Chain A
Amino acid sequence: METADKVGANVADRLVNPEDTSLCMKFHIRGMDFASGGEASARIRGVCVQLGLPASVTRRVAIVTYEAEMNIVIHAIRGTLQATITPEQVEIEAVDQGPGIPDIDRAMEEGFSTAPPSVREMGFGAGMGLPNIKAHSDALTIESVVGVGTRVHSVILVGQ
């Protein structure tokens, strides 16, 4: 059991490592991949629960990451969803290669959607994605270039 004890000691060593005060997770999302849609956000949510983040923060992260992930699935060709968690905040970044958003103000309106009918039939594309992300973020930046892609950056404060 001597080796086993050493494993335990290594755990304690790692805990004081200052590099570990933030946690970053990155996931690759494919457009139109409804079968896996929601997996990345579910994984991030599970991590939030295990971190013991306040329930309201976990809920907001679940909503923002899910909507951002599904936006990529519905509209883009491919993209990434990244969550960086520190004791102060959760930073969520969704970057995609896709059609881009011609009018961001319009896209922020509740009920405005450019999702095709086939997607709406599945119960998605109700035009609540970006408004929901905005409602649950403490800070939000959306940058988009038509024909290139979109970057959504949301910050949720842990102390709020």
Chain B
Amino acid sequence: MTRYFHSVRLDQEKCKGCTNCIKRCPTEAIRVSAGKARIMEERCVDCGECIRICPNKAKLAVTDPMDLLSAFDYSVALPAPSFMGQFKTGTNPAQVAGALVLAGFDDVFEVSAAADVVTAAILDYLDSHPQPRPVISSACPAVVRLVQVKYAALVENIIPVLAPMEVAARIAKRRAFERGITGRVGAFFITPCPAKVTASKQPVGVTDSSVDGIVSMNECFALIRPLIEKAEPLTDYPRGSRSGVGWGRAGGEMQAVGVNSLAVDGIHNVITVLNEVERGRLGDLDFIEAQACVGGCVGGCLTVENPFVSRIRVRKLAESSDPRPFSTSGKLDVFRYTRRVTPRLALSLDTDLSQAIAKMNHLEATEARLPGLDCGSCGSPSCRALAEDIVNNRAYETDCIFKLRERVHQLAEEMVDLASKVPPAMAPREIPSSRKDDAE
């Protein structure tokens, strides 16, 4: 079985087993057992919903430490467009880039510049591939993984174009090479979310990621905020255009691509749109921007600022950015996937269809006996999920507190009944007529 890397992890110490996360997970990947949440790794898409909802901060995103910079001779920071949204409107982006250099990076490459290249690569792909439609953006790694887990038939609709993070790393490294930098060059993405971490450690569509390290946006923010005032503005580094910067907020990607398209944000909303795509109802669209976080990347769970505030900031920054898109020499098809995207089949009850049907019959019958309150006290996200866990021998019917109570009640009644029985030596007893018949 494939092993999955996940950025989203559990802090055993902090988890109280409260079941808040299990109900929020879009792929029903979490169960609480023995008082701790457990993530089913083949189902997890690293969307970060559980990190957001956990009242005890027991869910965390594993990122790389800043110390990793020292493993490279030359390091390039790749700030996502959402990163700029963390700073007050009016903050000079060149000043932020300068602060990144003060913090230890050798150069900066704005991911929004790569977003310009990706926009062109998407249009190039749409032009040469009339089918399938609509294509689904591959920019949000959590959405790509959601499709793999829940929408096996739609993996072919994922546009096989690299995400801006990956393209940024590649161009940044080439740029370093062209500038005569020797030694090990490291590309470091400043991430708003755990999904991007997973995308670099276990990429989809390519064998290896060009991103060498991923630092958390909130850690990086804390590090460079005090440095901005004293930083020298960085000059001559690649920056994104108006439309490239816009990618940092929901709707920006759709606006940049500009074809007949739709934009959806928030993973539960994305699911409703993917249902429509699967039903074939959106075949008149060319392109779908789908982002797991509400508000787009500014809504990532590793950001600092309120996403509605940073969304406006990104929009204002985009408006003041260069209208001409950043472009790179050479053909655009080098930024396409080199490996096919395959479904994950993490939700099936059994690998054998007959067995799966038998289990499904059992599941439906079991679910019918459960109270249907979806309370989560059993540790499964819904009564149906508990029925599924029972069928797969991961749980017992008495894990349901209502079923348990029913059983205790029955037992108590039997005990009362037994207690009322008197030994025949002590009292005369009535033998039921049917028993008399039996004796004859």
Contacts and interface: CB of A to CB of B under 8 A. Distances in A.
A132 B361 contact: no
Contacts of A66: 279, 281
Interface in B350-391: 350-351, 353-364, 388, 390-391
B412 interface: no
A15 B359 contact: yes
Given A58-B152, A63-B280, A66-B279, A51 B396 contact: no
A42 to B, nearest CB: 7
B354 A21 contact: yes
Contacts, number: 92
A3 B396 CA distance: 9
B343 interface: yes
Contacts of B390: 7, 11
Interface string B379-407: 00000000010110100111000000000
Contact of B347 (A17, A49, A59): A49
B150 A50 contact: no
Contacts of A23: 357, 360-361, 364
Which of B154, B360, B391 has most A Cβ within 10 Å? Answer: B360
Nearest to A136: B280
Contact of B396 (A7, A52, A53): A7
Interface in A48-102: 49-53, 55-56, 58-59, 62-63, 66-67, 85-87
Given A47-B360, A62-B278, A55 B153 contact: yes
A42 B275 contact: yes
Contact of A3 (B150, B364, B398): B398
Nearest to B384: A46
Given A7-B398, A11-B362, A158-B353, 6 more contacts: A14-B362, A20-B362, A47-B360, A51-B357, A55-B152, A63-B279
28 contacts: A4-B396, A7-B396, A7-B398, A8-B396, A14-B361, A15-B355, A15-B362, A17-B358, A22-B357, A38-B275, A42-B275, A47-B360, A50-B347, A50-B356, A50-B360, A51-B348, A51-B353, A51-B360, A52-B347, A58-B152, A59-B153, A62-B153, A62-B278, A66-B279, A66-B281, A86-B357, A132-B280, A158-B353
Listed from nearest, the 6 A-B pairs whose CB atoms lie closest are: A52-B348, A55-B152, A59-B153, A20-B358, A55-B153, A4-B396
Interface of A: 3-4, 7-8, 11, 14-15, 17, 20-23, 25, 38, 41-42, 45, 47, 49-53, 55-56, 58-59, 62-63, 66-67, 85-87, 132, 158
Interface of B: 150, 152-155, 275, 278-281, 343, 345, 347-351, 353-364, 388, 390-391, 393, 396-398
